Structure 1
Amino acid sequence: MIIQPTSIAAQLWAGAVSGTTAAADTWRVGTLLTARILGQTDIGKLLLDIGGLTVEADAAGTSLPQQFQVRVLTQGIQPQLEVIPGKVDEQVAMQGLRERLPQQNGYAQLLGVLSALASRPIARTLPAPLRAALATLEAAISTPDDVSSPLGMKEAIARSGAFLEAHLAEPKEETPAADDFKAALLALRRTLADLPAARPAQASAQGAARPLNDTPPPLAQRALVAQPRAAQVAVTEENVDDVVTQLRGDVRAAVARVEIGQLESQPPAGLWMIEIPLAGVRGYDVLQLRIEEGKPGPSEPDGMWTIGFAIDPPTLGAVQGEIQLRVPRVSVRLWAQHGETVARLEAEFMSLRRQLETSGLQLDHFACMHGLPVPTSAYSAVLLEARA
């Protein structure tokens, strides 16, 4: 399989070939790399992400899975890679997690920068391609109204980034990849890569001020943790270069986080890890979801659906919940950080019951508790006890 760099990665690739960048170590002969199919170019070549580098591949006549591993056989301008055959799904997933866990962070920092740039005139001085990429990302973010209806929630989940590759493989009008959050992130990452780098001193100082890895990753075996908004970023003529440098790191961290959720999702087992950015009042929030389809019992036509969620909007504080659905019965448990939020949620009990009944569902149990749960696994001890 012959690999050729795209214009997006040309500078990084040139450095790798000459041995002057860290990418040279990544592409040493014999190195195993994780490859993912991103799509196809206009001239029929595969567009791949290999070891974090976007490249074009001439793989005519080769049937490839969505994710696979390759071994570097030769270096140079057109290196040769060997596709590793066999049952490598688990190996690919573990390697993918190892690569992305050190890079990931919550969406809050990126969304904070996006909000700041959208509300300040200084953003007009940014290069036109960067402004366009930021506008595309902003357009890919859902609103609270979008997720307030079943169809809107379905569309928001479809556009969350978790299903981008599936949409590219089988395009559908109702879920266009152009509206996808991950697609917008990748486009922004490519645009930032084409911009001149900020001065080293600025980049170093800004990187020290914005540490990564302070938000737990979306792992299936861990409980959801609501993500509060990041502190508002001040953007001025003096620090706009620093903000763009910061944006580079925040976008890389957000892409890594989306892909961790994809790797942790297990559709054959009925498990999906999804995060949906929402455009709130004067900022952005993140709705985290853990959706699980249970196996039906011997005498049951359908299994139980369990949905865990977490969100932390400034007007409510952190709210977490668990919903169990075994048609037609529904059970809802909520936890709220603030006492006044508990009262507001309990006041909506009758409205919730009526809405469920309109849909032919019966609310068996509703509880809203003050304080956040401290579970030892993906779900709280209360839920585990109820399901035993």
Structure 2
Amino acid sequence: MKLPNNQPPPTPQASVAPRPAPTGTPGQETTALSARQQLDQIPLANRETLLARVAEVTNRQGQNSSELLLDVRGRAIQVNADIGSTKLSPGDWVKLMRSGNELQLMGKLADTPHTAISNALAQRMPWQQSLDSGLARLITALNQGTAAELAPGQLPGSRSLQPLPAAARQALESLLSRLPVSNNLTPGAGSQNTSVQQVRQWIAESGLFAESRLSQSPSPALPDLKLAIGRILTSLLAERGGDPTSAFNRLMPLASPELVQAPLQFPRSTTSATPSANADPASTGQTLRLLAGMLNRITVNQLHSQILSARAGGEGPAPSSTMLLDLPWVTPQNEPGIAQLRIEQHTKHEEGSASKRNKAQAATASEWRLNLAIDLELAGALNFEVSLRHHEVSARVWAEKQETLKKVNEELPLLRRSLSELGLEVTNLESRRGSPSAPITKLEHRLVDTRA
């Protein structure tokens, strides 16, 4: 389309014009009025620029023009667009400028790191394997071996078992030896230096910081959950021969049903029964798919944490940083479980100008919030909510079972004393029946809606 005075738009601009509303007697003036009315309703002044999101793209066969559905300031506008060689896809953001009764496409915004993270998260969400169920199957493989692949016409029950390769066995044994055992942390032991170090090690080796630790110390033997799972997977692929990278890319990861139904709910409100370590052995191929799903679960937590941290400064109150961690542990009977930990830092931003000293003081005024969710065999589901600001701490404990709630009330004085011994002032301490409501990140088209 032409611009006023027949001046062509400079590269890389292109023209788009709002489609007129249907009328009984279409004409040039009616079209112009319809376009002007739509642009005035946004509202958008002449020569004013703004950003819009491409919702739909319909290409016309044999023509260079397309029909676009744009989300402009909350309004959906259908436009006819002559965009030339510019390639647009749903989810792209474009910069527009009003020129008379037309919109000029000033350019397409390049993909931001946030967009890349969102796309990577969307690709991995449907393929997550719960770490507790995955570890249970790995313990079975360690104790019984893996089932041989089925030959044509062979019945599943007639498959022979084969031990794990030595390298995979060593990597798995090393992983399990570093998992915390439930009876190692006793009530009241939180103020002891050894217990504090155990918890710090537990979080540091959760896999959430794998890439950061590798950048600091590129050692393949780092005691990290994500790297350990990768070593087991690499060892199994090496036994099969060929290119391990190509073989890994062809794997279809196994997914846990509850993570398919609510892929971004953290912590999960419901828990599924963890498969027993004495379940039927899986084949090597199934074990590889299981490991790939476990890696996806850790990667989803990493990407999800970045998405939630990136929403700081958006609409509404939001934490300035968020970390989501699955922390596996085992019982004395070597049965795996999962503790889900959510850590948020909330920083209060003062309005107006402030001196460097005031800004430094504001930085120390951050509030840390911790949510720990765990499901124990006898006690049932437990949730701990802790808030720390300066040296003041408040805590709330949620229990699903009435008997567990009674036991929690009996232990609250011990919790208060333990927190006081750490030099903290306990402002509030209570227990409740049930479970807290957990925020859920929602998806909108190809992007993650970080305002959820």
TM-score range (shorter-chain normalised) is 0.5 to 0.7
Per-residue deviation, 1:296: 3.0
What amino acid sits opposite 2:126 in the alignment?
P
Per-residue deviation, 1:223: 4.8
CA gap of 1:131–1:114, structure 2 versus 1, over 3 A, is: same
Q: Which runs of 5+ in 1 are unaligned?
A: 1-84, 198-206, 379-388
SS state at 1:254 partner:
helix
Determine the C-alpha separation between the residues in 2 that align with 1:217 and 1:170.
Answer: 34
Per-residue deviation, 1:332: 1.0
Alignment TM-score, normalising by the size of structure 1: 0.62
RMSD: 3.4
How is 1:348-359 mapped onto 2 (pairs within 5 angstroms)?
348-359=411-422
Are 2:287 and 1:247 equivalent residues in the alignment?
yes
SS state at 1:347 partner:
helix
CA contact (8 A) 2:127 2:255 kept: no
CA contact (8 A) 1:105 1:217 kept: no
Per-residue deviation, 1:285: 1.1
Determine the C-alpha separation between the residues in 2 that align with 1:121 and 1:254.
Answer: 19
| Pairing partner for 1:225 from 249, 265, 269 | 269
Per-residue deviation, 1:304: 0.9
CA gap of 1:177–1:342, structure 2 versus 1, over 3 A, is: farther
CA contact (8 A) 2:267 2:341 kept: no
| Pairing partner for 1:162 from 201, 204, 208 | 208
1:152-174 deviation line (CA, Å, top 9, x unaligned): 2222111100001101111299x
Are 2:163 and 1:139 equivalent residues in the alignment?
no
| Aligned position for 1:338 | 401
Alignment TM-score, normalising by the size of structure 2: 0.54
Are 2:323 and 1:277 equivalent residues in the alignment?
no
Per-residue deviation, 1:222: 5.0
SS state at 2:395 partner:
strand
| Pairing partner for 1:289 from 341, 358, 370 | 341
CA gap of 1:375–1:182, structure 2 versus 1, over 3 A, is: closer
| Pairing partner for 1:127 from 137, 142, 165 | 165
Determine the C-alpha separation between the residues in 1 that align with 2:262 and 2:227.
Answer: 20
Are 2:235 and 1:191 equivalent residues in the alignment?
yes
Determine the C-alpha separation between the residues in 2 that align with 1:155 and 1:124.
Answer: 34
CA contact (8 A) 2:385 2:397 kept: yes
| Pairing partner for 2:298 from 245, 258, 263 | 258
Determine the C-alpha separation between the residues in 2 that align with 1:140 and 1:322.
Answer: 26
| Aligned position for 1:313 | 376
CA contact (8 A) 1:108 1:229 kept: no
How is 1:357-368 mapped onto 2 (pairs within 5 angstroms)?
357-368=420-431
1:304-342 deviation line (CA, Å, top 9, x unaligned): 101111111213211112111112211111211211211
Determine the C-alpha separation between the residues in 2 that align with 1:151 and 1:218.
Answer: 32
What number of residue pairs does the alignment pair up? 277
Determine the C-alpha separation between the residues in 1 that align with 2:374 and 2:383.
Answer: 7
Q: Which runs of 5+ in 2 are unaligned?
A: 1-108, 147-160, 242-250, 311-319, 351-360, 442-452
CA contact (8 A) 2:137 2:275 kept: no
How is 1:195-206 mapped onto 2 (pairs within 5 angstroms)?
195-196=239-240
How is 1:165-180 mapped onto 2 (pairs within 5 angstroms)?
165-171=211-217, 178-180=222-224
Determine the C-alpha separation between the residues in 2 that align with 1:281 and 1:333.
Answer: 28
1:261-316 deviation line (CA, Å, top 9, x unaligned): 11122367321111111122321111111100111354854111011111112132
CA gap of 1:349–1:156, structure 2 versus 1, over 3 A, is: same
1:61-91 deviation line (CA, Å, top 9, x unaligned): xxxxxxxxxxxxxxxxxxxxxxxx9653112
* Bigger mean CA deviation after superposition, 285-294 or 108-117: 108-117
Are 2:199 and 1:153 equivalent residues in the alignment?
yes
| Aligned position for 1:98 | 122
CA contact (8 A) 1:335 1:371 kept: yes
CA contact (8 A) 1:308 1:321 kept: yes
Determine the C-alpha separation between the residues in 1 that align with 2:255 and 2:268.
Answer: 21
CA gap of 1:376–1:182, structure 2 versus 1, over 3 A, is: closer
| Aligned position for 2:73 | none
Q: Which protein has the larger Cα radius of gyration, Structure 1 or Structure 2?
A: 2
Determine the C-alpha separation between the residues in 1 that align with 2:137 and 2:393.
Answer: 39
| Aligned position for 2:410 | 347
Determine the C-alpha separation between the residues in 2 that align with 1:323 and 1:359.
Answer: 14
Determine the C-alpha separation between the residues in 2 that align with 1:369 and 1:243.
Answer: 45
CA gap of 1:110–1:252, structure 2 versus 1, over 3 A, is: same
SS state at 1:319 partner:
strand
Per-residue deviation, 1:250: 1.9
Are 2:132 and 1:108 equivalent residues in the alignment?
yes
What amino acid sits opposite 1:95 in the alignment?
N
Determine the C-alpha separation between the residues in 2 that align with 1:361 and 1:228.
Answer: 36
| Aligned position for 1:370 | 433
| Aligned position for 2:101 | none
Determine the C-alpha separation between the residues in 1 that align with 2:413 and 2:383.
Answer: 20
SS state at 2:348 partner:
coil
